Amino acid sequence: MPMSKDEKKDEKKRPAAEAEATSPPERGVRTVKTGEAPTGTKASHGVTKTMEESEARQRLKSDVEQEVARPGVIKMPSFEPAQKGPPPPPPSVKWTPTAPSPTVTVPSPVGPAPVAPSAPAPAPPVVKPSGDGKLQLPEWYVPDPKDPFPISPDDVQIDFYTIQEPYAYVLITYNNRDKETTYRVIEPSLTEEERKILKFVEHTMVDLLDADPIELEKQSQKDFLSAKFDEILYDYAIVLGDDEQKEAASKKRLLYYVFRDFIGEGRIDVVTRDDLIEDISCDGAHQPVFLYHRKYESIKSTLKFADDAELDSFVIRMAQRAGKHISIAEPILDATLRDGSRIQATLSREVSAHGSTFTIRKFRSEPFTPPDLVRFGTMSAEILAYWWIAIQHGASAIYAGGTASGKTTGLNAILLFIPPQMKIVSIEDTRELSLPHPNWIAGITRSGFGPRDKDGRQMGEIDMFQLLRNALRQRPEYIIVGEVRGKEAYNLFQAMATGHAAYGTMHADSVDAVIHRLESDPINIPRSLLEALDVVSIQIQTRVGGKRVRRTKQLSEIVGLDPHTREILTNEVFRWQPKDDSFRFSGVSYVLERIQVEKGMTPQQMKQEVENRVEIIKYMIKHQVRNYKDVARLVTSYYKDPATTMERVQKDQPWT
């Protein structure tokens, strides 16, 4: 259960102990050294005032009273080093090594340097390497004389896989001369005659698509299109072949394209169905469409739009299908496609030099789950166990990182740990989160039109700020903001300070950068509110053994504010070690410690909790509990009946 409002409010208000630090800089962040109980921290706040204080609390309280401002803190540069005087000397109160530290130490099998499994690529189900580099093309494949990227004798095959048998395949070639990898979409080859017929049929079909909704319901979309196709051939006396076999084969090929263009995503349909593709980007009609492939990274494809007009109409159509609008007057689109993918597009040359553009972030129908992240080596089972306990008990967090570093994916995965009965409200610009929780309101902002009012809002627009205000009235226990970037962050932090568990992603590549962004325009969170945040995780995209991977680079806690220096005290709990691709545990977590104190647990019990969860995560990996609903069921089972769940896990019984 998240902390009660009063508990958390209380915690933030508690005055900090005095220390003898001198002439401090006004701003800055510093990391608390392992074992230090910093002044004014949430750790000291964690001592609650209930009558029946447990033994652990008593001990903690006396520890905290003794250890006012321990020296030996690691200094981090303040944000404006040039304007600052010399760094403040360490506080003069001595740290007593004999005094037990009020920190929870995660047990050793869990703690130091748990080595991440070497990151296997996300299982590519359809890839079958061709072996000798010889091209493995379908029998029917005929090179298109107009292909802008024809296969050359220097191309060798490095991969070939099926998207839709027997019509759509992907061939990945490497050109030995240009040293370039190309993603080739292999679709049915059409003769010149068939090409003309297809163009005519599709054109005519648009006029004929006077679909009666009742009629459409009765038939599947494919049957409907197929019937229309036959109707057009008959009406216009079009003959597809001189014998029945040829005619049938030709019809199948043509229908593939009709379905692709009317039901699928047209020219980029194959790519949108390829699970190994993360991003699709088109920078203009005269350039190839570029893809981000899980195995081959940024890769040029053989897809290309013939001219500006074709690309413009493609972008307009995508907008319409997403239920949005794009026009010369409003040439920027941010929308969710029918399959959940996110699209950003611009129309024509209004706001981009090379004409219309679009970028699609593919949506995974099966979102990555916590055990997936451990399998990929993005984080260790210990980091995940930490998240599990923190999220269950309502610790707030910002999941930061660079573009496409996996922030949304990572946050979505760890949010599976929210206890199932909790009320969740999420707010996003485009719908990306998917959670199995039944009590979840998924809010999406709405764009407006026309001139902006004094608040910068257009007519009909509903922005994050309004949605969040509304959300707070709905008394959620957990609040998620897709991306924290504007004035809505203030409400989010207020929500944190009043005892809600709040989460968001943010574009920033270090803890300092997160704090700096939160404190600067346009977010402007006052430092006293910033304290309400508990955890900041930094995710990066990097290379391990030449392969591009995603890693939790650092996970830090916001411990509190130094009352004298007003510095933000942070405690790094985990850090990724590039040299051996492992995660180092610092030995101290103030968040776990606070939870331990609040729940009246002994350090031993907290240690056991961490160990149990590490064990469950490893069990999930071993037994391939991967689907997010299954993971959620196991997590729920642990919440409801930890003893039985652990017994099953320890006996290594399969989870069905």
Q: From the list 171, 303, 373, 592, which residue makes contact with ligand ATP (rule: CB under 6 A)?
A: 373
365 binds ligand ATP, rule: CB under 6 A: no
| Secondary structure string (H, E, C) spanning 252-274 | HHHHHHHHHHHCCCHHHHHHHHC
Q: Torsions phi, psi of 13, nearest 5?
A: -80, -25
Integer Cα distance of 418 and 435 in angstroms: 9
Stretch that binds ligand ATP, among 45-53, 159-167, 259-267, 361-369 (CB under 6 A): 361-369
173 binds ligand ATP, rule: CB under 6 A: no
State the binding partner of 304 from Mg ion, ligand ATP, none, CB within 5 to 8 A by kind: none
User: What residues make contact with Mg ion under the rule CB under 5 A?
Assistant: 407-408
Least distance in angstroms from the C-beta of 537 to Mg ion: 14
Specify the residue, 431 or 633, whose C-beta has the smaller distance to Mg ion. 431
For residue 281, with 0-12 CB atoms within 10 Å meaning exposed, 13-18 middle and 19 or more buried, which class applies?
Answer: middle
375 binds ligand ATP, rule: CB under 6 A: no
DSSP assignment letter at 386: H
245 binds ligand ATP, rule: CB under 6 A: no
Integer Cα distance of 147 and 186 in angstroms: 11
Specify the residue, 275 or 330, whose C-beta has the smaller distance to ligand ATP. 275
Inter-residue contact 410 to 516 (CB < 8 Å): no
Residue 143 CB contacts under 8 Å (≥ 6 apart), including other chains: 150, 151, 189
Integer Cα distance of 254 and 251 in angstroms: 5
Least distance in angstroms from the C-beta of 330 to ligand ATP: 22
State the binding partner of 122 from Mg ion, ligand ATP, none, CB within 5 to 8 A by kind: ligand ATP
364 binds ligand ATP, rule: CB under 6 A: yes
Report cis status (omega within 30 of 0) of the bond before 476: no
Residue 269 CB contacts under 8 Å (≥ 6 apart), including other chains: 168, 260, 261
Integer Cα distance of 386 and 533 in angstroms: 16
Residue 10 CB contacts under 8 Å (≥ 6 apart), including other chains: 45, 48, 49
State the binding partner of 266 from Mg ion, ligand ATP, none, CB within 5 to 8 A by kind: none
Q: From the list 394, 401, 476, 603, which residue makes contact with ligand ATP (rule: CB under 6 A)?
A: 401
Least distance in angstroms from the C-beta of 394 to ligand ATP: 23
Least distance in angstroms from the C-beta of 340 to ligand ATP: 12
What part of residues 30-49 is at the interface with ligand ATP (CB under 6 A)?
A: none
For residue 644, with 0-12 CB atoms within 10 Å meaning exposed, 13-18 middle and 19 or more buried, which class applies?
Answer: exposed
Specify the residue, 278 or 557, whose C-beta has the smaller distance to Mg ion. 278
What part of residues 259-288 is at the interface with ligand ATP (CB under 6 A)?
A: 278
What part of residues 88-127 is at the interface with ligand ATP (CB under 6 A)?
A: 122
Q: From the list 550, 553, 594, 613, which residue makes contact with ligand ATP (rule: CB under 6 A)?
A: 550
Specify the residue, 253 or 407, whose C-beta has the smaller distance to ligand ATP. 407
Residue 487 CB contacts under 8 Å (≥ 6 apart), including other chains: 465, 522, 523, 524
Least distance in angstroms from the C-beta of 620 to Mg ion: 24
Least distance in angstroms from the C-beta of 496 to ligand ATP: 21
State the binding partner of 137 from Mg ion, ligand ATP, none, CB within 5 to 8 A by kind: none
The type of residue at 205 is M
Residue 258 CB contacts under 8 Å (≥ 6 apart), including other chains: 198, 201, 202, 205, 225, 229
361 binds ligand ATP, rule: CB under 6 A: yes
- What is the contact surface with ligand ATP in residues (CB under 6 A)? 122, 278, 361-362, 364, 373, 376, 378, 401, 403-410, 505, 550
